[in-house]
Structure 1
Amino acid sequence: MASQYCINLLVSKTNGFVITSNAQRSRCRLIGSSTHKTTTKLICRFKSSLPHSLRANIAMPTKRGSSFPIVDHRQSMVIPFEVDVTDRIDILKKRTRELLMTTSNPTTTLNLIETMQRLGIGYSFEDEIEKILENLVEGPVEEDLYTTALRFRLRRQQGLFTNPDVFTRFMDPNGRFIESLSEDVEGLLSLYEASYLGAIGEDVLSQAKEFTTTHLKQKSVSQLSPKLHQKIQHGLELPKHMRMARLEAKRYIEKYGNETDHIPMLLELAKLDYNQVQSLHQTELAEITRWWTHLGLTSKLTFGRDRPLECFLWTVGILPDPKYSFCRIELAKTISMVLVIDDIFDTYGPYDDLVLFTKAIQRWDLDETEQLPEYMKICYMALYNTTNEIGYEVLKRHGLSILPFLRKTWIDMIEAFMVEAEWVKSGTTPSLKDYIENGIKTAGTYMALVHIFFLIGEGVTVENMNSLLDPYPGFFFTAGSILRLWDDLGTSKEEQDRGDVASSIQLFMKENNITCEEEGRNQILQLIENSWKELNLELVVTNKLFPHSIINVAHNMSRTAQVVYQHDDDSYFSSVDNHVRNLFFDPIDI
């Protein structure tokens, strides 16, 4: 039996709960796993506004050691809460709101908004930020490049219409950016960040990206202060528009205090808030673990992946706002189910069994389980019950009857798994187009986004419900393409070693007569860049059919895919381990 993520839970008023884990080598769809051999360490938490009966003492995998020991909760010590931070957070929020609403200088206001968002506290001031950005439509003619670009980026990422023509006054009569702008490094970097919100057909922003990238890369260390050089390097590595919110908050909080012009009040609020939200995430993990343990799926299907921690990582990337706690918990359940079904199709199920399973899912009738082998009956029942439970919860909370929508996404995904099985059985090499279209489904994109749309329950109308399936919304497809392509870039070698269907890299190389894999990977990166421009179209369109909340979710899914799969010498698996540890088990020192 493969090693499993084992999360042992104990909850009581005196002892709290302990989560222990070890890792399993496996394939990923929406998520992946770690091959690291692990030991454990203990992290203490602090008092927050969460239920006092849940006191978390967490055991988290580290890279030390060469085996998979598990910490026994009976040998663990629970460190008591020391500080009640709720009142202090409320005071700091009040003062921050006053500062935000009384700042009159546009540049100062925009800088304050960006700082708050990067620190991860912007969600507490959503209404104020929305109102301010709605009023900051356009600056004076003499406004500098830095402020113009920052205004553009903040408004557009908020879903407010912003015309890229605001940058034409920084261009010469030939339609090129004025070369002297290269001396304004802060302005250049601000324009660079804004260019990544460009959409298809916005040539001004495409030129801006090329112009700024070229000049920023030419800046030598001797020309810049260490602080500015570091900002440029980090921006070139990963633009702000593509960063995962909670990871960016952790990174920026740790850096912000070293800035000479930092606001101590914001820093204190960010630290307290980050740790409080981390405590919320630990409580959510406890709930997910209870459900997964009670489901008992992997105890019966020993070949299946058992990784709620990594499932939860994706949900936090996709839904970082604390108010979406219920949504994260339910989404983690669906991703956990995807992994087990993926393992049935990829590694365990004989072809004839897969045919029976697909037909049973298509009919979505419990009577169909009678013809299934025992291991498939268990999986079928778990999926059937979980889907019904989620449908019931949405009906209770939002008054929406959504089971036909949820059922359709699972049927589509299972049919796509079957298509892959047919390809493998017949030795068929699909076209790149067919591979991506099918791979978006098997990656769980449509399933996840449709579930999230209803779990959030914001802006749901008869019109957009009728436009949700057959076909799925275009931005669902685009986000899924980015996920699928990043998955291939991050895991293609492992999947090739397993004998899976050729990835997008190999298919692109074959169709375009490319022999160098590095060139093939670069071309896939270009496809991802084009997909981002398509996804950004949803930020440009007025009279949107779907609410900004689900559009933002699609962007967050793409961000999470890039952050998780874009790694250097580390494998995908170690990348996931590092993010899990960083987000859920390493608090910020107060």
Structure 2
Amino acid sequence: MLRWLCSPVYYQQVVQSHLAFVTQQGSTAAAQSNGDPAAAGPFLTVFPGSQLPTNTAHTYLGSTETTRAPSQMAAATGFGAAANTIGSSSAGRGKGTAWWTSREPQLARSPAVLSASRKHLRRSGFHSPLCVSRESAVPVELDHCKSRAEKLKEEVGKALQRAGSRPKDAVKYVDSLQQLGIAHHFEDAITAVLNRVGEEDDGDDELFDAGLRFRVLRHNGYNVAADSFQKFLDAEGNFKHSLSKDLRGLLSLHEASCLGAKDEYILAQAMEFSREHLESSLLSLDPNLFRKISYALKYPRHMSMERYEARRLLEDRSYPNGTFHSPLFELASLDFNMVQELYQGELAEITRWWRELGLAQKLSFARDRPMECFLWSIGIFPDPGLSMCRIQLAKTVAILLVVDDIYDSYGSPEELVLFTNAIRRWDLEAMDELPEYMKICYMALYNTTNEISYHILKQHGYCITSHLRNTWVDLCEAFLVEAKWFSDGFVPALADYLKNGITTAGTYMALVHAFFFLGSPVSDESLAFVGSRPSFFSHSGRILRLWDDLGTAKAEQLRGDVASSIECCMNEDRYLSEGDARKHIRKLISRSWTDLNGEALAPSPLPFSVVKASLNLARTAQFVYQHGDDERAQSADSVIESLLVKPIKRKPVNGYGQLMRR
């Protein structure tokens, strides 16, 4: 699911501490039992250090045994050979292979964890604590800011109106408004401007303007053709060599190419051409331009988290003198702080609800992370006017994480089957057969879902309980499949893993809720479409699942979780290293973006706001999980701090300048 990440080094420290504690408890219990191992309790005696030997005798539930093969594990855990029938491909079954012993030690599983029967021993998730707290938020006096912001909105609105008569200037101004996060103040005016721009002929555009126009129109849901780039090709169908020195134009072309769809070969060619020449120019650039181009190549605008991108631009001091005293930037700075205050109020409400719910206090194994859940809500619904959407989605994700922890690390095989059946029944009597800890979770899930349904019924006039219930049934059934895979030591084929993993990542859960939260017009056609798991939901979920795996695979293997897509790749190709598998996963992410772009432009019974939520889910996934794949990237803690804790501090700048676009 949405497995929160931290650095693998941290997880090593946590695992070492946990193993030391378990060893100490085992020794104490053994001493108290007067030498009777059976009375010592279910403690594992393990070797110190994070790298455990792969063939080691260890004390397990009072008996000494060695690491068992998957078939032996299946017999011990109660799932039997059921997982061997899951998935249509036999490529990933790894018969006769100790699949958990990777050629690369960082992906090797602990034999102590692997041999532990979920029927008797409950695993700990080893989830890291958050380093940012809501109490660390910096207060800002905003009373005087609001009146100033209203005056600035008038100035900026007039500037947009003036620019609207000149298509090139209009596109640039709209792009600035959207990058700085203040477009929500001018939605009607922006729509009018873009409608006019879409009807204008772009025949005399230079490369920069052509790329910017294409990107802004597609970003806002206009299905503009890529033919506008034909004029930049030579007689042989390649981009003209003379363009290779136009860095500003190349960067605009690269940003535009990131919105390319399947079979749009000219945009694929544009991406290859622009990237090649931008990368070759890096060594000869001044530091500011080097930083701008390097960042844009790694984090294209189309794939960036909206609020984080606005914050980054507002703190970029490489702009010309005076830029930050322009009405545009001054309004953006004030608005960012006011929206941050709104977010903080929403977070306070979510935190209060979470504490009153009491799951974290009653279920010690469960993740206690309302702030991270709210980060996902901000990523999917950044618009300040979508407060209810953010709050309700954060509640859903918070409970989803607890359910994930039950299936992932705590529940026994028999208990997980009982819980899945209870979710299918969806009534209070279904709790009777559940253990106490599952009753607590089930009641919280049941009540929260019904409360959300009641809220939608009051606000929009339709009952959605059965639709939300179906998403929970699908999710728990997919979790159960993963639990069986783990229990049987089974590595599925990559295609089977992804088909199931899109669901366990929480994709359909989040986007079906989004459809109803946004107040979308509900018809038989739209309900059937949402229930069919639309392709753009699936493509977004594939990006989420793959980024999740890139960011958390090492940490999850240290605590003994189900095989990730990286291991599935390595299992299908025995000569593939972990590094090569990660490269393959990044290519799959790139391909999924191309598919998602195409589906986002296709005719749909759903409004563009739902399509945008699907795009935002994929964008947020990168910013949540990228640090686990590249330690140079922003960590989740830093993203939370930027969006929820620290306000924008405006520094005095002399003069006046214009916004320079990358």
Instruction: Indicate the TM-score class for this superposition, using the shorter chain for normalisation.
Output: 0.7 to 0.9
Contact 2:171-2:213 at 8 Å conserved across structures: yes
**Whole-Å Cα distance in 1 between the matches of residues 360 and 133 of structure 2?**
23
- 1:377-388 matched pairs, under 5 angstroms: 377-388=439-450
C-alpha deviations, 1:108-154, integer Å up to 9, x for none?
22211111111111111111111111111244422211101100000
SS, match of residue 482 in structure 1: helix
Equivalent position to 2:502, from 440, 443, 451: 440
**Higher relative contact order (CA closer than 8 Å, sequence separation 6+):** 2
How far residue 37 of structure 1 moved from its aligned partner, in angstroms, is 6.1
2:44 alignment partner in structure 1: none
How far residue 425 of structure 1 moved from its aligned partner, in angstroms, is 2.0
- Classify 1:333/1:37 alpha carbon distance in 2 versus 1 (closer, same or farther; 3 Å): closer
2:151 alignment partner in structure 1: 91
1:358 alignment partner in structure 2: 420
1:420 alignment partner in structure 2: 482
2:522 alignment partner in structure 1: 460
C-alpha deviations, 1:488-527, integer Å up to 9, x for none?
0000011112222211011112223442211111111000
Contact 1:33-1:573 at 8 Å conserved across structures: no
Partner AA of 2:313 in structure 1: Y
- 1:94-173 matched pairs, under 5 angstroms: 94-103=154-163, 104-137=165-198, 138-173=200-235
- Classify 1:571/1:353 alpha carbon distance in 2 versus 1 (closer, same or farther; 3 Å): farther
Residue 507 of structure 1 pairs with residue 589 of structure 2: no
**Whole-Å Cα distance in 1 between the matches of residues 427 and 447 of structure 2?**
12
1:64 alignment partner in structure 2: none
Partner AA of 1:182 in structure 2: S
**Whole-Å Cα distance in 2 between the matches of residues 130 and 431 of structure 1?**
46
1:525 alignment partner in structure 2: 586
**Between Structure 1 and Structure 2, how many residues are aligned?**
527
Residue 479 of structure 1 pairs with residue 573 of structure 2: no
2:433 alignment partner in structure 1: 371
**Whole-Å Cα distance in 1 between the matches of residues 544 and 450 of structure 2?**
27
- Classify 1:40/1:93 alpha carbon distance in 2 versus 1 (closer, same or farther; 3 Å): closer
1:54 alignment partner in structure 2: none
- Classify 1:427/1:396 alpha carbon distance in 2 versus 1 (closer, same or farther; 3 Å): same
Residue 45 of structure 1 pairs with residue 139 of structure 2: yes
Partner AA of 1:493 in structure 2: K
- Classify 1:507/1:323 alpha carbon distance in 2 versus 1 (closer, same or farther; 3 Å): same
How far residue 202 of structure 1 moved from its aligned partner, in angstroms, is 0.5
Equivalent position to 1:307, from 369, 383, 393: 369
Residues 288-297 or 510-519, more deviating: 510-519
1:563 alignment partner in structure 2: 623
How far residue 40 of structure 1 moved from its aligned partner, in angstroms, is 9.6
Q: Which has the larger radius of gyration?
A: 2
**Whole-Å Cα distance in 1 between the matches of residues 510 and 134 of structure 2?**
32
- Classify 1:33/1:85 alpha carbon distance in 2 versus 1 (closer, same or farther; 3 Å): farther
**Whole-Å Cα distance in 2 between the matches of residues 461 and 277 of structure 1?**
33
- 1:175-324 matched pairs, under 5 angstroms: 175-222=237-284, 224-255=285-316, 258-260=319-321, 262=323, 264-324=326-386
2:605 alignment partner in structure 1: 545
2:21 alignment partner in structure 1: none
- Classify 1:466/1:36 alpha carbon distance in 2 versus 1 (closer, same or farther; 3 Å): closer
C-alpha deviations, 1:550-580, integer Å up to 9, x for none?
1111111101101121127876998221111
Partner AA of 1:547 in structure 2: P
Partner AA of 1:213 in structure 2: R
**Whole-Å Cα distance in 2 between the matches of residues 106 and 139 of structure 1?**
10
RMSD, aligned α-carbons: 2.4
- Classify 1:148/1:459 alpha carbon distance in 2 versus 1 (closer, same or farther; 3 Å): farther
Identity over aligned pairs, percent: 48
Contact 1:319-1:328 at 8 Å conserved across structures: yes
Contact 2:232-2:239 at 8 Å conserved across structures: yes
SS, match of residue 332 in structure 1: helix
1:55 alignment partner in structure 2: none
How far residue 106 of structure 1 moved from its aligned partner, in angstroms, is 2.4
SS, match of residue 635 in structure 2: helix
- 1:52-91 matched pairs, under 5 angstroms: 83-91=143-151
SS, match of residue 322 in structure 1: coil
**Whole-Å Cα distance in 2 between the matches of residues 570 and 517 of structure 1?**
14
Contact 1:34-1:574 at 8 Å conserved across structures: no
C-alpha deviations, 1:216-235, integer Å up to 9, x for none?
0010443x444433221111
- Classify 1:225/1:426 alpha carbon distance in 2 versus 1 (closer, same or farther; 3 Å): closer
**Whole-Å Cα distance in 1 between the matches of residues 530 and 538 of structure 2?**
12
How far residue 256 of structure 1 moved from its aligned partner, in angstroms, is 6.2
SS, match of residue 323 in structure 1: coil
Contact 1:361-1:411 at 8 Å conserved across structures: yes
- 1:482-501 matched pairs, under 5 angstroms: 482-501=543-562
How far residue 297 of structure 1 moved from its aligned partner, in angstroms, is 1.3
SS, match of residue 85 in structure 1: helix
How far residue 540 of structure 1 moved from its aligned partner, in angstroms, is 2.7
Partner AA of 1:151 in structure 2: R
- Classify 1:46/1:203 alpha carbon distance in 2 versus 1 (closer, same or farther; 3 Å): same
**Whole-Å Cα distance in 2 between the matches of residues 39 and 441 of structure 1?**
30
2:75 alignment partner in structure 1: none
- Classify 1:467/1:558 alpha carbon distance in 2 versus 1 (closer, same or farther; 3 Å): same
How far residue 336 of structure 1 moved from its aligned partner, in angstroms, is 0.4
C-alpha deviations, 1:441-480, integer Å up to 9, x for none?
11111011000110111343331112111x3111111111
**Whole-Å Cα distance in 1 between the matches of residues 133 and 453 of structure 2?**
39
How far residue 393 of structure 1 moved from its aligned partner, in angstroms, is 0.5
**Whole-Å Cα distance in 2 between the matches of residues 211 and 166 of structure 1?**
16
Contact 1:33-1:307 at 8 Å conserved across structures: no
Return the TM-score normalized by structure 2: 0.76
Partner AA of 2:407 in structure 1: F
Residues 101-110 or 439-448, more deviating: 101-110
Contact 2:551-2:629 at 8 Å conserved across structures: no
How far residue 241 of structure 1 moved from its aligned partner, in angstroms, is 0.7
**Whole-Å Cα distance in 1 between the matches of residues 303 and 399 of structure 2?**
28
- Classify 1:228/1:139 alpha carbon distance in 2 versus 1 (closer, same or farther; 3 Å): farther
**Whole-Å Cα distance in 2 between the matches of residues 174 and 155 of structure 1?**
28
Partner AA of 1:120 in structure 2: G
- Classify 1:424/1:232 alpha carbon distance in 2 versus 1 (closer, same or farther; 3 Å): same
How far residue 41 of structure 1 moved from its aligned partner, in angstroms, is 7.8
C-alpha deviations, 1:55-86, integer Å up to 9, x for none?
xxxxxxxxxxxxxxxxxxxxxxxxxxxx4222
- Classify 1:211/1:193 alpha carbon distance in 2 versus 1 (closer, same or farther; 3 Å): same
Contact 1:35-1:574 at 8 Å conserved across structures: no
- Classify 1:525/1:574 alpha carbon distance in 2 versus 1 (closer, same or farther; 3 Å): closer
Contact 1:139-1:148 at 8 Å conserved across structures: no
- 1:329-340 matched pairs, under 5 angstroms: 329-340=391-402
2:388 alignment partner in structure 1: 326
1:341 alignment partner in structure 2: 403
**Whole-Å Cα distance in 2 between the matches of residues 43 and 376 of structure 1?**
35
